[in-house]
Amino acid sequence: MYFQQITTNKYLEERIFTSILSKDEIADAASSELASIRRRIRQQSAKIRESLQKIITSPSYAKILQEPIVTIRSDRFVVPVKAECKSQLPGLCTMSRPPAARISLNPCPLSTAITNCATVYGRAQGDRAHSCRALR
């Protein structure tokens, strides 16, 4: 008797299906704030990657880099630097591996940009939870 009185809410159903892509992923369209945050993350990440690419391809840094690659450690872009050369590239040491004599370093000129990107990423995580609550 009561089940027959229940009607579907097409608007809510559509919002749920367009906002939740999977159990682990919320769509940018879930909220304008989330879309804006993710857009800023993509833009900032592209700038950081471009700057890091210049560092790892620079002949002047070739002798201090363990490998000419950019990796992500703890949500931060880093370059692997030979431990004995870490003073030649000012930056924030994010990880050290004694057996390999290698450290992961946020190059100093990029540390602020990398920190800002990590901060915006943290906001995106918070807005993701907010978007889920808004669908209730």
pTM of the predicted model as reported, rounded to 2 decimal places: 0.59
- HSE-up of residue 15 (Cα within 13 Å, Cβ side): 13
Spell out the alpha helix ranges (H) of the chain: 10-19, 32-57, 108-134
State in Å, rounded, how far the first CA of the chain is from the last one.
25
3-state DSSP assignment of residue 35: helix
- Express each pLDDT in 52-95 by its tens digit: 888 889 898 888 888 898 888 777 778 888 878 777 776 666 66
Lowest mean pLDDT among 18-22, 45-49, 75-79: 75-79
Cα–Cα distance list, 117 to 7, 8, 52, 89 (Å): 44, 41, 14, 21
